Structure 1
Amino acid sequence: MFWLSFWSLSLLCAIARFYIRFYKISQVSKDENTEKFDLQAKKLQGEYLVAYLLAAAADWLQGPYVYALYEQYGFSKAQIGFLFVAGFGSSGLFGTFVGSSADRFGRKRLCLVYGLLYSISCVTKHFPFFAVLLIGRLLGGISTSILFSSFESWLVSEHNKRQLPGWSLNEIFAKAQFGNGLMAILAGQVANILASTFGKVAPFDASIALLLVMSLFIYVKWDENYGDNRKDSSSVAFHCALRSLFEEYRILLLGIFQSCFESVMYIFVFMWTPALQLIASRDVPHGLVFSCFMVALMLGSCLFTILEGKIQVVGLLRICFIITAILFLVTTSVSILWMIFQCFVLFEIICGIFFPSIAVLRARTIPNEYRSTLMNLFRVPLNFIVVVVLLADWPVFTTFKVCVFLIGVAIVAQHMYTWRNEGLHVQDTGDV
């Protein structure tokens, strides 16, 4: 079942990429007369994707062996759980201030800080001391906040500065998500080889090497860009961003449905293994299942590229939320392995559509002045929800019922966003 799913998803992904390469992209170029922008768009695409995918690969390399390394050092399940919660808490607590620093001091600088802090976090993995590993988790949480805000903020600001057409930004977001899935598969295989050959800390050393290459590339290739309030102190910029969040309801509603959906995704990351194992009559091949999920994520990014010109982004997100709610309702109602697994695969396809879609919507909705700050503010409730769910330690399918509730909130917030946005025209990137 798992191998059949993997090869079926891979075939569908290949067909989708073939369609995009030989039909979809050529049609967009011909219809919008974008030849004069092609060179500039491809230059920006290369500058961003190389740096972002190196950063993502460095992050993925660490994932498979964090828990195993902590176990090898002799820490209890409770201690390991505390370390994981500390990472989410750090991201939520310090991320907002990191975001305001990016808007004030420069997004390029903060991406270089990402390379430095995450490298230090990897170095701490060599020391089997709880306090040292806790510091590493705190630095890792801050680094994650930078990865999910400053890179995208730099891209959107640079895209607007170069006055490129909206379709090119959509294309970059889709390719970034496709590449992210590909990096996850490759990083997982490389991490397995390194860990089995040199020990469980080796993937973290490889991550440091990638972070160094990424930092050098960014330093040489990227220009710096800022928010518009560079003279403000970080605290003033943060308070201005917070005020704009509650004064502009479209931004607030965007933050609500993004946080709800992404919290469901992070909860799923922790829960899919025990969910499958609970109903399986034999050991689940976790590596193969993970590969299926990542190919499904890549397929979702391809579907976004195919659909985004035919369905408005907010409409695409509405479909994603409704299907997600149905999938988790099915998951809580049946106990058949293949049905639950297919629900999980479909959810990963939805995630592949969601991430470029929400990135496009953020680019259209969030002002450049506080882009990094607001993106990190969106992650505060996300991290809070994930920490609460992890600490609550509910049964697996009770947790999935909580996911259904969160998606329900996302659907309501997305409907209100669409209603408030009717009749508005968003500059530079077209109608929402």
Structure 2
Amino acid sequence: MTFFEGSMYLWIFLQFPALEFAHEEGGWGDTMSFGIIFAAMMLPRSRWVVTTSKLLALTLIIASICFIIPTLYHNEAVTFWCFCIFEVCCGIYFPSVAHLRERIIEDHIRARVSSVLRIPLNLFVVIGLVSNREEIVKLMKSRLGRQHRENVFGICSVGLLSAATILGVLGTDE
């Protein structure tokens, strides 16, 4: 939960600066149509419920790939589609984790366990956002900001792969 949800929250903060950088690197100028980008990311999602931990592990692997590709290819279209695919992963992740929580954690302690798991999640996000001493606004647009984003995306990718591996090893088939 920490790696996926933390990666998702960090992605929310860093997705548009990453798209802007890829847009500028592609020679498309300084302005982007964020309204169209936001609308594309908010397309209706499927109501398909994931029923196995292996499918959730696959979702985590795909999410990991969506974080690492924009650090390797500074292309606006590639970055955009990686972020769209990550949105689909979010749509698969939340019902899957809810289903697994229901199966693994007993009803009378589920809320307490979920609350305790929020502590490392929030620490992960805060450390990811303030790991550089530059002001956040300046950081997002500068070259140093690009390197910081790529470092954060790389850490998110490794965390997601770690979570997928743990889930693949410890997960149960239904």
Work out whether the TM-score is over 0.5: yes
In structure 2, the partner of 1:399 is 152
d(CA) in 2 for partners of 1:378, 1:290: 30
SS of equivalent to 1:335: coil
d(CA) in 2 for partners of 1:285, 1:365: 44
In structure 1, the partner of 2:26 is none
Q: CA deviation at 1:370?
A: 1.1
Q: 1:293 is aligned with what amino acid?
A: M
d(CA) in 1 for partners of 2:13, 2:169: 30
In structure 1, the partner of 2:9 is 266
Q: CA deviation at 1:292?
A: 1.7
In structure 2, the partner of 1:322 is 61
In structure 2, the partner of 1:341 is 80
d(CA) in 2 for partners of 1:335, 1:276: 9
Q: How does 1:168-179 map to 2 (within 5 A)?
A: none
Q: 2:124 is aligned with what amino acid?
A: I
In structure 2, the partner of 1:276 is 19
In structure 1, the partner of 2:111 is 372
CA displacement, residues 33-70 of structure 1 (integer Å, 9 cap, x when unaligned): xxxxxxxxxxxxxxxxxxxxxxxxxxxxxxxxxxxxxx
TM-score relative to the length of structure 1: 0.34
Q: CA deviation at 1:321?
A: 1.0
Q: 2:151 is aligned with what amino acid?
A: T
Q: CA deviation at 1:348?
A: 0.4
d(CA) in 2 for partners of 1:266, 1:324: 13
Q: CA deviation at 1:329?
A: 2.1
Q: How does 1:144-293 map to 2 (within 5 A)?
A: 258-280=1-23, 281-293=29-41
Q: 2:110 is aligned with what amino acid?
A: R
CA displacement, residues 172-192 of structure 1 (integer Å, 9 cap, x when unaligned): xxxxxxxxxxxxxxxxxxxxx
* Number of residue pairs aligned between Structure 1 and Structure 2: 155
d(CA) in 2 for partners of 1:381, 1:288: 34
Higher helix content, 1 or 2: 1
In structure 2, the partner of 1:214 is none
d(CA) in 1 for partners of 2:159, 2:38: 24
SS of equivalent to 1:282: coil
In structure 2, the partner of 1:388 is 127
Give ranges in structure 2 of 5+ residues lacking alignment.
Answer: 24-28, 133-144
d(CA) in 2 for partners of 1:371, 1:316: 23
d(CA) in 1 for partners of 2:57, 2:122: 23
8 A Cα contact 2:21 2:74, kept in partner: no
Give ranges in structure 1 of 5+ residues lacking alignment.
Answer: 1-257, 423-430
d(CA) in 2 for partners of 1:360, 1:387: 28
d(CA) in 1 for partners of 2:91, 2:126: 24
Structure with bigger gyration radius: 1
Indicate the percent of aligned positions where both proteins have the same amino acid: 30
Q: How does 1:129-140 map to 2 (within 5 A)?
A: none
8 A Cα contact 2:59 2:93, kept in partner: yes
Q: CA deviation at 1:346?
A: 0.5
Q: Relative contact order (alpha carbons < 8 A, sep ≥ 6): 1 or 2 greater?
A: 2
CA displacement, residues 283-336 of structure 1 (integer Å, 9 cap, x when unaligned): 2222332222221xx42x43x24xx4xxx4212201101111222221111011
SS of equivalent to 1:328: helix
CA displacement, residues 367-424 of structure 1 (integer Å, 9 cap, x when unaligned): 1111111111111111000000111136221211111111122112212322xx46xx
Aligned partner of 1:359 among 85, 98, 101? 98
TM-score relative to the length of structure 2: 0.82
Q: CA deviation at 1:366?
A: 1.1
In structure 2, the partner of 1:409 is 162
Q: CA deviation at 1:268?
A: 0.2
Q: How does 1:33-112 map to 2 (within 5 A)?
A: none
8 A Cα contact 2:54 2:167, kept in partner: no
